[in-house]
Chain A
Amino acid sequence: MKYVEIYKLQNDGSQTVFATCKFVDGTIVIEGDQKFADFATNEGIRNYTSDGEKKLFPKDGILFLEQLRYNFKSGYLNASEVLEK
């Protein structure tokens, strides 16, 4: 299964998993922080492979997963590459 972890930076510099986005049956299921799940589902993320105007949502499947690391890169919230288990 393909998935991406979202890490939140703590005050001591450690990172904890804040949410996990999993590719299940062609769509993305978000587990963990509910507010984050609502945000990603409703607001969407930017697609850095296009001009950025067309947003991506969990229903966009793998492309959504792939683009998470370009959206979450501040250090405070970082997304992993697409992982597999």
Chain B
Amino acid sequence: MTTGEKPSDSTTDFGAAKKETLRLDEPALAADFEDEKKELKEWRKKTSPVELEKGMVKRSRELIGGANKVFFVEFIGDESGIFKPASGEFAYSKNHIEKGTLYKRERAAYLADYFFNFGIVPPTIIREIDGEEGSVQRFIPDTVPYSDVWKFSMPDEKDFQYQMKHLWIFDFLIHNSDRRSVNLLFSGLCDEPPCNITLHAIDNGCSFSEDKSCFAAEFYDEDIPEELTTKIKEFAEDKHRQEILRELLLPLLTEKEINAFFARVEKIAAILKEYGKIPLEKREEVANF
């Protein structure tokens, strides 16, 4: 994090600014405010699967290895998750990301994914487990890392590229500085086609900061699928949806990081609208914080 900035207060409420100026003798405004609060509550609910957020922990096991503390958590029922407590985060000495904020960035990345309707980040929430606050991301069973994808039959190269392009654009948007092939999983791979390949972008804790972005694969000058362009265009044009996402991001990121994110959305939407691709000469422009 840069020069003394603090993440926004986690108790920040939707419409807090309005609250200060709200006059009690203006019932129409008060009703608007209540509607907004209600709507935000609904979005919080939609983006927080109850089995992860409220699920009773059956068993929690600390995983060995890795620079950060990571737990495999089984909830009563069928759900499992990957729990990363704030207290177990490693301090990255060379970057702008303050220790103890990675778990919030995991949640922020999921929210961005949800609002773009990409569906590549497993549901991620913030909760307390055994007295420790951290992120819980839904565990995806039967996955293989990117490095192992080539062991399987790849009949649907087009579908694979389609998903990889989603990831590439997503990492631009969230300014991910730690996307490598090891935090990229696939499920649905098989030896006999047709396969139903699904990409899962995990480990998004190093996102939204001023660190230099990095990618698992790049597609400069290649056509971006129209459906993907449309998703970004729709979001970039929907100010109301943007406002809701902004409110949800407020407890997770600094204002500067949130503003930079929305500026990137606008920039990338404009480039895709004009070119239908990310031209190589625009690389620095879109990769900047």
Q: Which A residues form the contact surface with B (CB < 8 A)? A: 5-7, 9, 11, 13, 15, 33, 35-36, 38-39, 43, 45-46, 48-53, 69-81
Contacts and interface: CB of A to CB of B under 8 A. Distances in A.
Contact of B59 (A13, A72, A74): A13
A72 B70 contact: no
A43 B148 CA distance: 13
Contacts of A51: 94, 212
Interface in B188-219: 202-203, 212, 214
Interface string B173-197: 0000110111101000000000000
Given A9-B63, A15-B64, A49-B94, A73 B70 contact: yes
A43 B202 contact: no
A73 B212 CA distance: 20
A38 B71 CA distance: 29
Interface stretch (B138-146, B225-233, B274-282): B138-146
A69 B147 contact: no
15 contacts: A5-B65, A13-B59, A15-B63, A15-B65, A35-B150, A43-B147, A52-B94, A74-B182, A74-B203, A75-B66, A75-B70, A75-B72, A76-B202, A78-B66, A80-B65
A75 to B, nearest CB: 4
B258 to A, nearest CB: 24
Contacts of B178: 46
Contacts of B145: 76-77
Given A13-B74, A71-B180, 12 more contacts: A9-B63, A9-B72, A11-B142, A13-B72, A49-B93, A73-B66, A73-B67, A75-B72, A77-B182, A78-B65, A79-B65, A79-B66
Kindly name the residue among A33, A53, A74 whose own CB sees the greatest number of chain B CB atoms within 10 A: A74
A11 B84 CA distance: 18
Contacts of A36: 147-148
A1 B70 CA distance: 27
